[in-house]
Structure 1
Amino acid sequence: MHMIAWRLSNTGMEEGSGTPVTHYASTYVNDHVGFWGCIKTFPSDFVVTEINMHGQLVNEIATDCLPKSGGTLSDQSRSCQRDSKRLRLSPSEPCIEEYFREQDGDVHCPSEVLHSVVEEGEEHSLKKVRECYHDKAETLDSLLDQTVREQLHQFAYSVKDMWNFKSEPEVFSTEFSLGPIPKKTVRASLHGAIRQEYPFLATITKSGEIVVRANQDYQELCKLVSEEEASGFLKFLDAKLENSKFAFRPDGNKEHRKKVHHFLNKKFGKLVETKSFPDSEHKVVIMVRFREKNGYRKKTNAGNREKEEIYTAFTLQKENLETLEAISYLSSELGVLPSDFSYTGIKDKKAVTYQAMVVKKVTPKRLKELGIIIGGKRLGLSNIHSVNQSLRLGQLQGNHFAIIVRDLKLHSNDCHGNLKERVYEAMEKVKKNGFINYYGPQRFGQGQNIHTDQIGLALLNEEMVKAVKLFFTPEDSDDPVNKAKKYFLETEDAKGTLAMLPDFKVRERMLLRALNRYGLNHEGCIQGWLSIPHSMRIFYVHAYCSKIWNEAVSYRIKTYGTSVVTGDLVFSIEDNESCSPSDKVHVITSEEEMANKYTINQVIIPMAGYSVQYPTNKVGEWYHERLARDGLQMGHFRLPALQLNVPGCYRHILKYPHDLSYSFLENNGKDLTPGGDCFQDSIFSLSVSFWLDPSCYATVCLGEIMKCDL
């Protein structure tokens, strides 16, 4: 049972506004005492390193794993790990790409190309899929105990036996559960292993349990092709190997091929595309490949030839600099737009951070030249290489944190405690019980006079002029940027302000150019906001939604504690990308509450948006009232004028630090962990290391550990 501690992080009020400065009332789920210390005394005290989708720290990617040209970050990992098992045609067969254009109808290709296609498709494709996953049985044996493994095998072939006696597909009510499997990584391994060994089965996750069912798509496909082909195709589909293709056996019956094309496009058209290639014996091979992702290829104006966009990936190191500010500077130096940069998330300002980025229209050579020029200017560029697509927000496994907490002391009301014991107790409690998954203060512009969520609310209320003026509200310092902002608010002279602003303030300059052209009025401000890249515009709206989420989770814990109650939301189906987020949400029933079926770490709170489902208890009522206070309705998250849509999403109440470790240091860096109890003096510091899931904040985790504002 979690223990709850309450503390209001700030009760101050904005002058004249009546709005609390704080973005949430800090709630703790652990009952330890904690301790006091300083973080971010120096940027190097807070080192953040992104972990890519393959579990690699982005500043430690081996150079021999980087693709020489083309290829994505996922390509690089796979090429290092299983190049010999990749299911693909030889690179010496470009004709296949040339002929793979139209969505339906047959095409003709030279016999030498046809031979390659048929040979790869008929003789090797199924074999290579099996080879690539030949160890899945061993995986099942290692992940499941013998009894469950045998029961799964019996269930699988009972399904096949039922199908053998039926001529039409049926929806089977029969299911087999593997029981609770808490770790998502283990569940993911089991999903893949089961579907590779038994492609005629489908798997889903229900409340932490993997449930196995008959795969109706397999049975329907078996009415059109052989069982071996159906099995091979579904294994190919589940493997999702980039650049891979699958070929069915040659088929001389055009009407039959049409049925196969129609079935594949109807069932799997969002994932794959199909094409027919004739052979010399007047038979035709149906070839399947995964659809290209948006932005991968771009058609030129000359004919129908396709030209690949230039994408260059790199690791950005920055110190004491905002991510968007770094992008603005790089775009200015490279002569491209800020929107040409893509990244997986925003990183802390007062820190040393490493993150993956991709820039369009810039070659690796040019980026390397810039890296040499800017070296030592709080920016660094490394791991520069060509890729074939942009990054997406959230396309990472998490972030690793290496943090120094300086000047350790006991809390002022903890007169008789032992500092070493307080630290040990805090670490162990948070390892076990986790922390409330608040958005951290840096999400809202920590220490700024105007927070990003205030701009977001003005945009949502379509108060465009107000949003612009909030955007240009200066800080208390008297540097050139703040002087220019003060001048703009006093004079509304966009042209004069432009002359005062440094070149690297790209966002401000783009907005001012539009205001100079269209004027400081409602329509002019809309044009100003539209001049800023979409990712930057929506950043402000997301900040507002994050603030509301923080308040909602505080209200939820204050109202219900850590008990799971009727009307709470949990994810019902995981590891199924075909489901929309709302389809995965389950509302807790009174029977489930009585049975204690779910725990607090499974409960999710919605991020406000037009398509999310809200809790049906007091938390849902709170959302209605809270949004109404800001002049918003539940569905008021579409802004056509600004080309912004916020469907919303879901976020777990609790999160846990992974691989949490720590050691005591003298302020000169000497490790003191091995012995001694003399930790009361403030000369001691604490070195803490852990990693968090995406969109989790280390300052929030540390706040739970230390029980103090950070």
Structure 2
Amino acid sequence: MDIRGNAARVRAIGITQRATPLAAAWTGDLRVRFTDFQVNEITPDGKVVHLRSIGLGGQEEKQASSSEDVKPAHPQDDKNQNGGGPVNEEPQATPAEKDQGQESAQGPQGEGGLEVSPEDIASLTALGGSQFAHDIVEMYKTSGDPEALKKKAVAASSDDRQKRGQLHHEVRRIFNSKIETSTDDSGAVVATLAARRGGRQRGGRGGGGGRNRQREEKPAGDYVHFTLYKDNRDTLDAVNQVARMLRVKPQSIGYSGTKDRRASTVQRCSVRYIRPRNLAGINGKLRGVVTGDYEYAQEPIRLGQLQGNEFVITLKNCKLLGEANSKPLEERVEILRQNAQSAMDHLSDHGWINYFGHQRFGTHEIGTHEVGKLILGEKYEDAVKAILHYDPKIAEKGEKGDLPQELSFRDEILRHQACMLFVTDKDHARAEEIIPRRFGAESSILRHLNRAGAQSRKDFVGALIHITRGLRSMYLHAYQSYVWNNVASRRWGLHGEKVIKGDLILVEASDTTNAEPEQDQDGDEVINPNDEEGYAKVHARALTEEEASSGQYSIRDIVLPTPGYEVIYPDNDIGAFYAEFMARPENGGLDPDKMRRIRREFSLPGRYRRLMNRFLGTPSVEVKTYVDDTEQMHPTDLDLIRAAGSGKGKRARESSGAACDEPAGKKFKGDGDENGSVVEKDEAEAAPSKEPEEKKTVGETEKKIAAVVRFQLGSSAYATVTLRELMGDPPESNTSEQT
């Protein structure tokens, strides 16, 4: 995806100005692989969080895991699951079952109680044939029988290396690496049960699990802090997976902020009344998620407890715009290097406009700010319909059963299908049944509107209030962000870096009890003006003519408010623009001075946000050539652990900023073990065939250019906004408004 390919959409959310001069704009593809976008959290004390070890990091013999380990260490956390109401507690295991450990839970479904879903069987059939799917499932069901070790399942022979690689990957995923695969001379994939290692049977007797648990040190706190690494998963999905495996409520897992989905990200989390071995024991059952680096603590990790994030972003297929792109490769590389470095230096010295990025406004056809506008305009039925908006063509695929194997794509189709079934009154009950639970707002609305049948289907206000507070606030905050972006563009377009009369600055910290940045529920840094939820009031004031011209203040001191009843607006033409812009019919016909609503849930106090942003540390940009778009130009933390010792916790670099020992361009791959999981990769990263690749000479025309950019941002900044400043605008967005 070209980061600037959505130029029209960027302009539609108010981003029209740039503060960074460029000799020539350039373009590049963002997230060709999700591992091209890496995010590592920065703790409040300024340390970059890295995954140092997976699972117990070499302590497996001392603290063996079992099915019993995933039960909460405190009975209070076993009363509710997944944020729902009361549920029946798990029945206590009999003494015989405890002695048998996990083996007692196998039954006909295979080791660990894993059930092979119809979707997984369909995947195995499509890749290896129906006989292979039947044989491998039967082999797994009888895995407790010693004779099963002699069995094997053989897939149909195939010359398609990518298909074979995908089959290797699917077998590892479906059976949690309990079944091994290899490719024979005929090109057929052969599957056999993995042999148990060193007599370490799971459960109380095989590896000393019960006895070793008695020797475990007394916890140093009620909470365990751990590092969460995730690939191609959003934070809520990862947290829900961990919570489900631990059998605790998702709300009991603390984290300081959400991270990108299409990325490889690392962050610290916390959970109460759970021991490290419990977390280590679930690693092999998680999809796209790994935990490690456990540590006891007295306090949980809370939202906002971070300084920011470090980004390492690889932009591939980089091209200069204009005639420069026709120059020889070496010249293009040098021009791009000089151009990018010059822009990066300017960003470091001067900063850039602190826009809210497009992630703030959602990924559906109707943006989250559009929903927020309808709620603030008290058009509740229209707001509900906007949330349930669907594409008829996509919904039709769901009706025909045309569902892809990739879970996220399948969920997206099911969402459109469910919304269609409900909005058209075709089948309300089925709509509620098939809506994927990760679509929290849609799920909440359908459940509420179906609660009392036809009588409740007009309770649109209740449906909106039934959405969780965080999701509901997202719509309102998105509208505020939309207004802020447009005002910031107007402010920069008219006055640039010049400080003018009426600009707002924060009062000195000594004049108020707290003038420090806080975070809203979306993880964005703001200055909170009200005293709700324990926040102290923060004040702003307008500059006089004398103060504005004195040179005492710079553009970096200026703040702009998001609309609300507790903020003041600039005392100049920018303040007047708030009223004029929000009053437009297409923007809701709203009044910035009237942001209270009868329903407190829909009232907005407003907050202040700095007009300009800056890097936390020294950024860097490296321009290099490559050949294959699937090449990993910069290793992830998981790549480094696997390269250094198959998940045993050794690292290939001394610190987070040091260079990796692995050569650039290596396609990092690794196999999971009992302490880690095989993290899902893109289809292009399917398990490699052992057949040697044909060598070929790479000519200049086959080489491409990549830029690897590293920078640290505060929690209020958006990486895509920063990249836009670094790269420039595409020709079609160079309007007269831009500097």
- 2:311 aligned residue: 401
The residue type equivalent to 2:341 in the other structure is Y
631, 634, 643: which one aligns with 2:592: 634
- 2:417 aligned residue: 483
Shift of residue 12, structure 1, vs aligned partner: 7.2
Contact preservation (8 Å) 2:341, 2:621: no
- Using the size of structure 2 for normalisation, the TM-score is 0.54
- 1:92 aligned residue: none
Cα separation, 1, equivalents of 2:12 and 2:444: 30
Shift of residue 701, structure 1, vs aligned partner: 0.8
Tell me the SS of whatever aligns to 1:591.
helix
Shift of residue 368, structure 1, vs aligned partner: 4.1
Contact preservation (8 Å) 2:256, 2:305: yes
Q: Counting strand residues as a fraction of each chain, which structure ranks higher?
A: 1
Tell me the SS of whatever aligns to 2:28.
strand
- 1:110 aligned residue: none
Q: Which has the higher contact order (CA 8 A, sep 6+)?
A: 2
Tell whether 2:346 aligns with 1:355. Answer: no
Contact preservation (8 Å) 1:458, 1:466: yes
- 2:669 aligned residue: none
Q: Which stretch has the larger CA shift, 483-492 or 535-544? A: 483-492
Shift of residue 433, structure 1, vs aligned partner: 2.0
Q: Deviations over 1:148-206 (max 9, x none)?
A: xxxxxxxxxxxxxxxxxxxxxxxxxxxxxxxxxxxxxxxxxxxxxxxxxxxxxxxxxxx
Contact preservation (8 Å) 2:312, 2:708: yes
Cα separation, 2, equivalents of 1:361 and 1:530: 32
Tell whether 2:719 aligns with 1:698. Answer: yes
652, 663, 668: which one aligns with 2:622: 663
Identical-residue share of aligned pairs (%):
28
Tell whether 2:287 aligns with 1:380. Answer: no
331, 343, 346: which one aligns with 2:255: 343
- 1:470 aligned residue: 386
Using a 3 Å threshold, how does the CA distance of structure 1 residues 331 and 558 change in structure 2: closer, same or farther?
same
- 1:437 aligned residue: 354
Using a 3 Å threshold, how does the CA distance of structure 1 residues 385 and 63 change in structure 2: closer, same or farther?
farther
Tell whether 2:226 aligns with 1:314. Answer: yes
Cα separation, 2, equivalents of 1:400 and 1:483: 38
Q: Deviations over 1:641-665 (max 9, x none)?
A: 4635532221111112222012223
Tell me the SS of whatever aligns to 2:541.
strand
The residue type equivalent to 1:513 in the other structure is R
- 2:548 aligned residue: 593
Using a 3 Å threshold, how does the CA distance of structure 1 residues 368 and 671 change in structure 2: closer, same or farther?
closer
Using a 3 Å threshold, how does the CA distance of structure 1 residues 493 and 613 change in structure 2: closer, same or farther?
farther
Q: Deviations over 1:512-570 (max 9, x none)?
A: 22221156868733333333322222122111111111111001111212110000012
Shift of residue 386, structure 1, vs aligned partner: 4.9
The residue type equivalent to 2:285 in the other structure is I
Cα separation, 2, equivalents of 1:63 and 1:500: 35
Tell me the SS of whatever aligns to 2:304.
coil
Tell whether 2:706 aligns with 1:685. Answer: yes
The residue type equivalent to 1:538 in the other structure is S
Tell me the SS of whatever aligns to 2:618.
strand
Shift of residue 640, structure 1, vs aligned partner: 6.0
Using a 3 Å threshold, how does the CA distance of structure 1 residues 619 and 527 change in structure 2: closer, same or farther?
same
1:532-551, aligned counterparts within 5 Å? 532-551=467-486
- 1:513 aligned residue: 447
Cα separation, 2, equivalents of 1:554 and 1:454: 19
Using a 3 Å threshold, how does the CA distance of structure 1 residues 525 and 360 change in structure 2: closer, same or farther?
farther
366, 371, 396: which one aligns with 1:455: 371
Cα separation, 2, equivalents of 1:342 and 1:523: 36
Shift of residue 364, structure 1, vs aligned partner: 5.4
Cα separation, 2, equivalents of 1:63 and 1:324: 21
- 1:617 aligned residue: 572
Cα separation, 2, equivalents of 1:682 and 1:456: 46
Using a 3 Å threshold, how does the CA distance of structure 1 residues 8 and 559 change in structure 2: closer, same or farther?
farther
The residue type equivalent to 1:57 in the other structure is V
The residue type equivalent to 2:415 in the other structure is V
1:412-423, aligned counterparts within 5 Å? 412=322, 414=324, 418-423=335-340
**Pairwise CA RMSD of aligned residues?**
3.7
Gaps of 5+ in 2: 58-219, 398-412, 516-527, 530-537, 634-662, 666-698, 734-739
Tell whether 2:29 aligns with 1:49. Answer: no
Cα separation, 1, equivalents of 2:569 and 2:248: 41
Q: Deviations over 1:41-85 (max 9, x none)?
A: 111001011111122223357999x9xxxxxxxxxxxxxxxxxxx
Tell me the SS of whatever aligns to 1:402.
strand
Tell whether 2:610 aligns with 1:652. Answer: yes
Tell whether 2:429 aligns with 1:495. Answer: yes
Contact preservation (8 Å) 1:518, 1:524: no
Q: Deviations over 1:340-397 (max 9, x none)?
A: 44433332222112233345676655444433311xx122233445545554433211
Tell me the SS of whatever aligns to 1:659.
coil
- Using the size of structure 1 for normalisation, the TM-score is 0.57
Cα separation, 1, equivalents of 2:596 and 2:417: 35
The residue type equivalent to 1:695 in the other structure is S
Contact preservation (8 Å) 1:519, 1:525: no
Tell me the SS of whatever aligns to 2:493.
helix
Cα separation, 2, equivalents of 1:59 and 1:432: 28
